[in-house]
Each structure stands twice: as structure tokens, then as C-alpha cells.
Structure 1
Amino acid sequence: MKTLLQLNTIFLSMIMEAIPFILLGVIVSGLIQTFVTERWIARVMPRNRFASTLVGCGVGVFFPACECGIVPITRRLLGKGVPLHAGIAFMLTGPIINPIVLFATFMAFGNSWRMALIRAGSAVVVAFIVSIVISYLFPQLPFRASHANGMQEAAAALEPAAAPAAAKPPLRTQLLGVMTHSIEEFFSVGKYLVLGALIAAAMQTYIPTASLIHLGSNAVTSSLVMIGMAFVMSLCSEADAFIASSFRGSFSVGAISAFLVFGPMIDIKNTLMLLGVFKGKFVVTLIALVATCTLLVSLLVGRLFG
């Protein structure tokens, strides 16, 4: 009975943490679908692969979304013509480099910017490398068939640029379109959030954290353990720094940076959301690349700041 109560508490706390950011994400997604045109994106997005990836890495500063709310925004941006590498760079860095998360990290580590800057810098390096590699491995958008068809239908129905300026629908109609799209997106994403939170809560309940900590005997295994814990715990990026700071007595700076970088990029909740949007091969490749790059960057951080 006590175990079930613990599982229920963890599950509900994850849902309550994530829902505000899911709502923010789907509303932003609806605004992008209705008001942002492919022509505008083509005008502001650099053509160069590396420059557009850097832009994607930096856009997250302006979007206070966690890893749950970032998936629908990314899906909409990709559907609007943002290159895959730029969209993935935004999706990976957005939950980490936004001001809310960085300030929370500053507070969690004793009002010091050191770990916040390490976290932000590591996230940008990981996201940049992963996104560039992804751009070569997947020249076409790896959407699941249902989402690819949905994108085409939505673009035909709602794209303002498809008609002359005089034929644009009134603002009231456009705002109604935003709300309709947001509601549909919320229920589309929400089921993956609930399932992911339930799995994460069960793993936290039945896999003792202490048993994982004992595995961290050296730099490599310590970072791997922290990557595994970040995936299993599936914490919201606005709160994970306070948990990470409690591990300072057991893990090195490098291993803690791995926890702070990998968790917001890949966890159980957003893995299921990604599988609902992208093809399985793409999701597996993305997770493998993020894990590998996070491990290597954490080892470098350990050498420089350990």
C-alpha cells in the first residue's frame, strides 16, 4: 500500500509539473501554425547548415518551455519549413538555456553561475554536434506518416500566405483557429505525457536510487549512471537542478553536468512524445547520439572543472 501511494504521488507530481508547460507549448504551436508563414521562415533562417543550427541552438533563450512542451513547438516549426537540424537544435537546447531554467540552476547551486554556465555551454555543444550529424543521416523529415499527412492538411487549411493579403480571414477567426489547433495538439501530446509519467513513476518507485549510485566508481560510469538516472527520473527542467545539487557529495562536476544536460533533452516522457511524432529509427538514433555526446562532453567538463 505504501509503495502504491508513493507511485501515485510521484505520478501526480510529474503531471502537475508538466501540464502548464504542455499548455504553453501547444498554444505557441497554434500561434506558429496560424500566424507564421513558410515565406517568413525562409527569409529569416540562414541557408548555411552550420549557421542555421547555431540559430536553432539560441532560439530557446526566448521560449520558457520544458522538455514536455518543446515537442509540439518543434513539430510545428518543422512543418513550417524550419530545417531538421535547426529544429532539433532548438528542441534539445530549449529546455536548458531558457532564462527560467538557468536561474533555477543558479539558485540550486548556491547562487553561483558556474554550474549554470557549464550546463548551458555543454547543452549547446551537444545539441550542435547531434543536430549536424542528424542532418546528414536524415535528409528528409522523419515524421510518422499520420503526422506528415496532418501537416499537409493543416497547411492547406490554415496557411495565411496561401491567399492574397486581402483574403486573409479576420483576426477573430484566426484566434479561433489557434485555440482549435491548441486543443487538438494538447490531447495528441497529453496521452504520451500520462503514459511516460506513469512509467517514470514506476521506475522511480521500484528501482532504488542508492543502487545506481554505487555503480559510479569512475568518471565514465559516474556519467553513465547520472545519464540513466536523468532518463528514469524524468524531472522537469525547471526543477532538476535542485535534485542534481543534492548529488554533489557523491558525484563529480562532470557527472552532474551529464544529469543536467541529458535529462531535459531525453527522458521517458518526451521519448514517448517523440515516438508519437517521429519514426522509431530516428528517435533511437537521436537518443544514441545525445547519450554519446553528453557522455563525452561530461568527461571533458570533468577534466576542466572537476
Structure 2
Amino acid sequence: MTSFSPVKIFPLLLPAAFLLILGIVWLPGRLELLDNAYLHSFKASFIGILLEALPFVLAGALLSSLLRVFVPDEMISRWIPRRPVPAILFACLLGVLFPVCECGMIPLVRRLIHKGMPVYVAIVFILSGPILNPVVYGATITAFRTHPELAYARMGLAFAVAFIIGLIVYFTNTKSPLRLSARQENGVDHHQSARGGKAAAVFVHTSDEFFEMGKYLIIGCLLTSGIQTFMVQDSLAAIGGKPLGSYFFMMGLAFLLSLCSTSDAFVASTFLHAFPAGSLLAFMVLGPMLDFKNALMLLSLFKTRFALFLFFLIFSTVFIGSVWMSGWL
């Protein structure tokens, strides 16, 4: 008989608290939001976000399964440089070779760690991969045709944040932060391969990874679509006029909206005339690194203490970097 662990329900506490507060405090005074028009908008937003993210989750799960079945452990270890700085630079360039959205990054990285990738290198890949790739650069330069410097600044800040956090994790992390060890996760691999061969094992592992990440994705999509539907926008101009307030607002918005890294630049461009450029930069860098969906996925991959430490590093480094770079924008 398995023992109950509060850690298993931790990812559900935030959405549960949000829905409870919404039902008790906010919703009774705004019953008009339950009209068909709002519900239709909520449904359309939820389906749109979910359909946008699902292909990337599936792609990440498939890549993870192919690595698990066909790539020997020693091959991954052999590719990665031994010294931290070259290894971090190598991880930053992986996004060009594997342009996976943040939605599909976690299952892929979990498999890379179990194949021998150091944790600090994997975290750099998680942070830089969704931004430092040609697809996202093209989308950003298209969204900011009249301000291409924002596209260059996005790439530069993403690289700097990933590099700094990679070094911090390298020097501070001494134990494995993973929830499951490679032996626990791979315990059924040989049995499944013997039953159906490698092709069958790929499909089995892909479905397991997909449904494991999918439950966190759905929770994130529900909250994100609710915020997009019911958020009041009357005070945006007032918030944009406050120097620090605009940064915190845009970073919080990036976390809650959970947009894909290939589309968030187009959302940021709509705030161009109301918010300072530095806050838009913070929005475009923080979102792919830490939004509601991948925060839940990171909590499923790493132990809670390490994940919270990582969240703090991401938020503080992006904030400081975007404020510092705002002087050149």
C-alpha cells in the first residue's frame, strides 16, 4: 500500500485556491460574466491554447521516447563538454538543432538527463531552447518590424539569463533534484521492449510521457483562458506609466497567459505604445522560461525545493536584466 504524500497534490493547490477565491469573492458580483458570450469566449480561448500547445508536447514526448529507446547513454555523455562554460554554450546552441517549444521541452529534457546530461546543462537547455531558435527569432522580428532592436535584445537577454542560471546551478547543486531516478523511470523498459520490440516501446513511452505532461497542460490552459476572458483592461495605461509596476505587470501577465514562444511577441507588440520597451522584453523572455504550464511541469520533474529555487532565479535574473537593458532600447 502506497503512502500519501502532500507533494503529489502540490501542483493542484494553486488552481484550487484560485477557483475558490473566484467563486466566493469575485464572481457573485459579476454574474453577467456567465452569459453565453463570455462562456463562448472562454471555450474558444481554452481550445485555442490547448491546440496550440498539444503538438509541441507530443513532439517533445516523441523525441524523449526516441532518445530513450535508440540513443545509448554514453553517446549523450560523450557529446557534452566536461568544463561548465563550454557545456553551457553547447546547451544554448541546442535550441537551433532542436527547436522545441517550452510545452514539449520537459519530457525531452527528462530523457536527456537520464541519458547522462548534467542537470545544469539541462536547465540551460530548458531556458534557452524555446527562445534561441530561428523560428522564434523570425516571429519576433516580424512582430516588431519597426523596432527590430527588441528582437536582438530578446535573444541576447535569453542567452545571458540561461548562462548565468546555468553557472549558479553548477556551483550550488550537489544532489540530484529529480523526483524520479533513472532506475525508477526505466524499470519497465526492458520488459516492454521484450514484449513488442523497440517500435512498440517508442509508442508506449510516448503515450506515457504525453499523458503525464498533458494533465498539467490542461490545468494551465483552464486558468489561462479564464484570465484572458475575464481580465479587466481599463487600467492598463495607468499601470504602463509606472516604471517598476509595468515590469511586474508584464512578467505576471507572461506567467499567467502561458503563451507559446512563437506567438507571444505578437501579443507583446500590442502593448508597444502603452508600456516601456524593457517591460515588453521581460514579457517575451520570462514567458517561455517560466509560465503557469511549464511551472507545473517543472514541479513534476524536479523536487519542490529545487523547483522553487529555480523559479526565483529565473524571475530575478530576467527582471534585473530587462531593467538594465531598457537603457539601450
Same fold (TM over 0.5): yes
Stretches of structure 1 lacking an aligned partner (at least 5 in a row): 160-168
* 2:200 paired residue among 165, 176, 196: 176
1:86 matches 2:137: no
Aligned partners of 1:156, 1:124: CA distance in 2, in Å?
A: 39
Structure 1 equivalent of residue 255 of structure 2: 231
Does the residue aligned with 2:326 lie in a helix, a strand or coil? Answer: helix
Change in 2 beyond 3 A, CA 1:41/1:211: same
Aligned partners of 2:158, 2:321: CA distance in 1, in Å?
A: 9
Aligned partners of 1:267, 1:63: CA distance in 2, in Å?
A: 20
Q: Which moved more, 1:204-213 or 1:283-292?
A: 204-213
Deviations 1:110-168 (A, max 9, x none): 276432221111101011111221233322221114x6553342566689xxxxxxxxx
Deviations 1:207-244 (A, max 9, x none): 32444553333433222211111011111111111111
Question: How many percent of aligned residue pairs carry the same amino acid?
Answer: 37
Amino acid at match of 2:45: I
Structure 2 equivalent of residue 221 of structure 1: 245
Q: CA RMSD in A?
A: 2.1
1:261 matches 2:285: yes
Aligned partners of 1:174, 1:13: CA distance in 2, in Å?
A: 34
Aligned partners of 2:200, 2:289: CA distance in 1, in Å?
A: 32
* 2:104 paired residue among 66, 69, 74: 69
* 1:28 paired residue among 52, 55, 63: 63
Deviations 1:67-108 (A, max 9, x none): 110111111111111011110000111111111111111111
Change in 2 beyond 3 A, CA 1:234/1:249: same
Does the aligned pair in 1 maintain the 2:178–2:302 contact within 8 Å?
yes
Structure 2 equivalent of residue 125 of structure 1: 160
1:151 matches 2:185: yes
Amino acid at match of 2:184: G
Aligned partners of 1:12, 1:246: CA distance in 2, in Å?
A: 22
Aligned partners of 1:249, 1:104: CA distance in 2, in Å?
A: 19
Does the aligned pair in 2 maintain the 1:253–1:301 contact within 8 Å?
no
Aligned pairs for 1:169-208 (under 5 A) are 173-208=197-232
Does the aligned pair in 1 maintain the 2:57–2:210 contact within 8 Å?
yes
Aligned partners of 1:4, 1:259: CA distance in 2, in Å?
A: 27
Aligned partners of 1:209, 1:87: CA distance in 2, in Å?
A: 38
Amino acid at match of 1:191: K
* 2:138 paired residue among 103, 108, 113: 103
Change in 2 beyond 3 A, CA 1:152/1:10: same
**Equivalent residues, number:** 293
- The CA deviation at 1:21 is 0.8
Change in 2 beyond 3 A, CA 1:158/1:114: farther
Amino acid at match of 1:150: Q
Does the residue aligned with 1:214 lie in a helix, a strand or coil? Answer: helix
1:241 matches 2:241: no
Change in 2 beyond 3 A, CA 1:111/1:60: farther
Aligned partners of 2:237, 2:146: CA distance in 1, in Å?
A: 26
